[in-house]
Structure 1
């Protein structure tokens, strides 16, 4: 089970001791964790988290959203068996599905890109102009190569059809 929380949230602060007790009670039975949604925005997006705290039960490809009382007894009951009574999220909304992982990677892309630029500039000592040229050059050259390959493949077919019609 995962609790997505915010440090400033009063409801999250009230849940904290209950969540700690739940983790102790379920040790060895169900994994219990928490994620700071204000720091892990990509993960928060993958879970489609819209409020704090949000509690999810994740088992393989299935993800279920907990919407009951936030008492130790109710949370434990949900974690052990009543999660089965809640319909899992559809595959396209599940954070563990291909779609969920892909959207998480897409959301992380700007941060990874920023880290790459920082690494190239500070560690490898590339100038900003060289980094920009590389960043623009790779997709541009890939696009030109793709257009050339399409032209060779489809252009040859079109030219052979044109010659057949003339004969």
Structure 2
């Protein structure tokens, strides 16, 4: 009996430990997107929410998958010191365009309006050392690229991202893109011709058909006038 009670207490303690560990793990790496990036990081205006170490990744990227656990562990290592986050560049193309993301993964450190690109080994120790150096010295190591954080993406930038995707499609599927462009040109040309075509090319109603329409309209008017006057049509004039 006592053994069963001890076993139950032990299992309850294990459950509590696992629950606390899982709860503490939540939020180690923050998911950022176009809807919350600037609000949370305040990267372009000079952060009041602290420094941010952000990974830009693509779901299909093998290198991204291999470093996923290291990035999670980095979030745990820097918890309470530096914000660790990630951006799915495939879903957030405007952000990828804004920060000129050309390869995956790309690791950028944001500190008071300046961003630093990490190019070292992707292990927890090296990445944590890099982040803590910038946080402490307020600048990056000498061999690290740093540029001002670009302004938040405008509508023009978003359109540029769309045009860039169109160019990629054109390169990958030139025949499909060419046919789509040709169809657009033909539709546009047809619409312009319909509006501005010469009047002599507009088909006219045949004379016989026009006469029948005029006769029917005249008879309809006469019937209406006679009905209003209360007149009746003589039997001799009715159509036999």
Same fold (TM over 0.5): yes
Residue 87 of structure 1 deviates from its aligned partner by 4.0
Secondary structure in 2 aligned to 1:17?
Answer: helix
Per-residue deviation, residues 8-53 of structure 1 (Å, max 9, x unmatched): 0000001100000000110110000000000111101111111000
Return the alpha-carbon distance in structure 1 between the equivalents of residues 97 and 56 of structure 2. Answer: 11
Cα displacement string for residues 78-104 of structure 1 (whole angstroms, at most 9, x for unaligned residues): 110056212421x3xx33xxxx32x45
* Residue equivalent to 2:140: 84
TM-aligned CA distance change 1:105 to 1:27, over 3 Å: farther
Partner of 2:200: none
User: Could you say which residue in structure 1 is the equivalent of 2:72?
Assistant: 20
Is 1:73 aligned with 2:129?
no
Higher CA-based Rg: 2
Matching of residue 45 in structure 1 with residue 45 in structure 2: no
Partner SS for 2:81: coil
Distance 2:116 2:160 in 1: 29
Q: How far apart are residue 110 of structure 1 and its match?
A: 8.6
Gaps of 5+ in 1: 112-167
Query: Taking structure 1 as reference, are residues 40 and 78 closer, same or farther at Cα in structure 2, changes over 3 Å only?
Result: same
Does residue 64 of the first structure (1) align with residue 116 of the second (2)?
yes
Give 1:36's aligned residue.
Answer: 88
State the 1:59 CA deviation. Answer: 1.0
Question: 1:146 corresponds to which residue?
Answer: none
Residue in 2 aligned with 1:156? none
Structure with the largest fraction of helix: 1
What is the RMSD computed on CA atoms of the aligned residues? Answer: 2.0
Partner of 2:59, secondary structure, is coil
Q: How far 1:107 moved relative to its partner?
A: 2.6
1:7 equivalenced with 2:59 (yes/no): yes
